Amino acid sequence: MDFSLYMEDMSKQAREELTNSGYEELKTPEEVDQALTRKGTTLVAINSMCGCAGGVARPAATNSIHFDKRPDHLVTVFAGQDREATDRARDYFEGFPPSSPSFALMKDGKIVTMVPREEIESSTPMEVVQRLQSLFDEHCEEY
């Protein structure tokens, strides 16, 4: 198989893991602006192709939302794939360096906090689920 076809297939699967779980995929800067300025809480999953994304971040993203409290909106951008959308999302994460995979929790268009790559790659999926759910418990309404 041609390498570019292989990578396209792999990135399609990585995207679908999140979109099939209810995350809205943002592929353009305009989509990012529209999504990240909404009222309420928004979890932004910054997806990537690395091992910790597939082994920890995506499983945590899909499992963390099965909780009494969760964000009003679930969105994702794909670092290294949809660069302009990812760069625009990172503009909203003031005070936090670029990191992928990672999670950003936003409220009413403002960054609340992030779970950066270093907290993901050194954790199990369940530890990241627990971290996200503790943030939901603190900042989100009952679902």
Catalytically active residues, by annotation: 50, 52
Angle at the Cα of 91 (from 57 to 132), degrees rounded to 5? 30
- Beta-strand ranges (E) seen in the chain are 24-25, 41-47, 73-78, 102-107, 110-115
Which tokens belong to 139? 């900042």
